[in-house]
Structure 1
């Protein structure tokens, strides 16, 4: 953001009341062209709850923006005008396309949705009566208009998906390449023995039958999609049984309103962390862990970590360790050679109630933010861990490293101007 200095860059106009100087516009459009950034001129009008451009504003756009669009090599240019509680926008998108903005979302706690005028209060499904008593019809409409992704549909992710569907979220994007395993049945919501083909995969079954079961068991995303559609007759579900690290799948996250990260992979954490700060899409990392040493449980915790664009990220706080990135990026055969113990088939302890604690906190935090019920004094981002062995809650204010390559200036708000850390095969 570059502020125009009154009387120097913002002066008396020739055709209207005020104008930006030609040199100020030229300097900044050159920076945008060099760095592949959109150019938006921003000013404000008086009043509240409703705003629009004046005829003088629109005439100046039509005179100047075609040339700015050419200088910016087709990367969008345009303008925003604010009033108290309202915003209007005129965007020039290239190839003769021009659009007004329907709304502008301020990604914070609470989340704000601004439009050129008051959002209409629409009647919602009476089945959501108990919720509308909290959020109102407009709040329920915000949920219906939300597009939310869940990455990882295991024990935690399957709960998140069902919660979101029951809350009335309009669109879900579910991503997980894995098929259901018999050991997942106690934790994955809605999973059936028939989904896991348990009669083919018992330890006493011949190897070839177990292989058939492994190959044809249901994908976790298909189970989650079934549960979501049973919970909501209106939810739109995109179930993707592939890795989010594939470039075209990662791109599906960039226009979501929120991402719930329930996959315990350093590579996936790094990717979602990058999308949050590069495309301004908040995410919440959710999980539960049981630590065991010498056959004894040493620690149990559930965790919920919401990250807003520009806040301290997972990388800043040491939650994407380099050694784990390296290990995950190697082939299975290389990993086996590097390990002293062949432990690929040794699963970490887990139980559904630990996942439920983390998920309830994570979805509640998101719900309060989009519903506008966060108190002003509440922290913007506070990570919470619960240790049931000691009945202790630990709250952490995430650290912020200004030189971080994930949430710092090299990636922040760059959109398509920076490459995502996906796997190219």
Structure 2
């Protein structure tokens, strides 16, 4: 994908809302040239370097973007100075933007490139070696010239992480025919869509009832790289719901109720990790998929860091600490996430409510924190030791499992993966909401859609963390 199918690649990542603002400014319908500056956080990994758009600064025509002395138009010196100073103070990359006419192919003019040679070494020095550069857009294309302190210049694609998602390059990239294995779905998404799936890295956090279904769906769709994270091992009550689980995975001879408690405890400690079962299923579904299985908690710092170069995260863990971590990664690294779950509420022995939920969140939008889905009391409870929880009676009985049914999990898992697929494949309608939060209630046969709200000062999706990438510590525990 745009941010790293080959090590060393560069990309510029922008939210759907930012893209709408920038595109409307560059292409208002007058056929003229317009300008702007992007101030960007930075994320580096083995998959490449991503410049994460933190601010889109529009250059007002005739004030900040004026007639050029050597070229057609230019950004004024005071406008450039103000923005490069802010970038230097906040350790952000500086990207100048303008547009050319045309639709699907674009490149810098000779005059543009000469201006880069004259100006960017000085800007790179002012910015203390943090990258500087330029983007030029046509209506459906983008070219980049990014300068770094090692004297190198880099091209980059632009990735729009809205709904639908878009990838803009200087010219249409050639796409080979999809593997015939995927012929039936390539008829929907096209060969290019199948190539996007093959180039994607997707994380599933929580490989229980819902996460195991999502993991299998992704492998069978042809996703190229999967990251599975879950610290738990299979227990006998998981067998009806975890995809690919075998009775042998729970060591039934040790965990039989007739066995001594110490033997049952040994069996629980030796049972198969859920991530190993999920990896087994993925490899059975796809001989080419690359799976990284982490049988640890996602809130551990080195585990959390593995999420930061994914293209999508599915959050199927009900822990408030996991929600907080994934929620913050989405907005700090501009990586969409979908939180999924199903729940059966029982009151006095009667079923009061049943629902399956899928909450797709795009970077910069109203998040789980804004909408009250990461309660402080639960964070406190989970951060407290088991002995303290028992003493303070935070839970009545930790050994009593909540009701759960595989079909309820399948509703949430299918909806979550479908929403992502439609977005990745560019099949959503322009009027579709960027964030799709939907719950299904089978007792009443209701489908409820919710538009998430956004709090301006949110510590997750607000300015204190948004698009800062590696420039801000993750909300994780030390390893």
Q: Are residue 135 (structure 1) and residue 189 (structure 2) matched?
A: yes
Alpha-carbon distance in structure 1 between the residues aligned to 2:112 and 2:176: 32
Q: What is the Cα deviation at residue 39 of structure 1? A: 0.9
**Corresponding residue of 2:88:** 33
Q: Is the 8 A contact 2:361 2:367 kept in 1?
A: yes
**Structure 1 moving runs of 4+ over 4 Å:** none
User: How big is the alpha-carbon RMSD for the aligned residues of Structure 1 and Structure 2?
Assistant: 1.5
Out of 227, 235, 249, the residue aligned to residue 289 of structure 2 is: 235
Are residues 1:69 and 2:116 paired? no
Residue among 351, 375, 378 paired with 1:297:
351
Secondary structure of the equivalent of 2:133?
strand
Selected match of 2:266 from 196, 208, 212: 212
Q: Report the counterpart of residue 86 of structure 1 in structure 2.
A: 141
Contact persistence 2:381–2:394 (CA under 8 A): no
C-alpha displacement at 1:56, in angstroms?
2.1
Bigger shift: 355-364 or 390-399?
A: 390-399
Alignment equivalent of 1:264, drawn from 314, 318, 340: 318
Structure 1: stretches of 5+ with no match in the other structure = none
- Could you tell me which runs of 5 or more consecutive residues in structure 2 were left unpaired when the two chains were aligned: 1-55
Tell me, in whole angstroms, the C-alpha distance in 2 between the residues paired with 1:98 and 1:336: 59
Residue 195 (structure 1) shift: 1.4
Q: Does residue 96 of structure 2 align to residue 46 of structure 1? A: no
Partner Cα separation in structure 1 for residue 468 and residue 308 of structure 2 = 12
1:360 is the counterpart of 2:414: yes
The farther-off stretch of 72-81 and 144-153 is: 72-81
- Report SS of the residue matched to 1:319: coil
Tell me how far apart the structure 2 counterparts of residues 98 and 250 of structure 1 sit (CA, whole Å).
31
What per-residue deviation string (whole Å, max 9, x for no partner) do you get for residues 271-330 of structure 1?
111111111111000000011122221111100000011111111111011100111111
* Aligned: 1:393 with 2:447: yes
Distance 1:365 1:126 in 2: 24
C-alpha deviation, 1:251, in angstroms: 1.4
- What secondary structure is seen at the aligned counterpart in 2 of 1:179? coil
Distance (Å, rounded) in 2 between the aligned partners of 1:244 and 1:70: 38
Cα separation, 2, equivalents of 1:365 and 1:3: 32
Measure, in 2, the Cα distance between the counterparts of 1:99 and 1:377. 35
Moved more, 293-302 or 154-163: 293-302
Deviation at 1:24, TM superposition (A): 1.7
Count of residues in Structure 1 that have an aligned counterpart in Structure 2: 424
Counterpart CA distance in 1 for 2:108 and 2:203 is 35
> Deviation of residue 365 (structure 1)?
0.6
Take 1:411 and 1:341, find their aligned partners in 2: how far apart are those partners?
33
Residues 281-360 of structure 1 aligned to structure 2 (within 5 Å): 281-339=335-393, 342-360=396-414
1:24-76 CA distance string (max 9 Å, x none): 21211110111222111111111111111122222222332233223222322
Deviation at 1:369, TM superposition (A): 0.7
Q: If the length of structure 2 is used for normalisation, what is the TM-score? A: 0.86
CA–CA distance in structure 2, aligned partners of residues 368 and 37 of structure 1 = 32
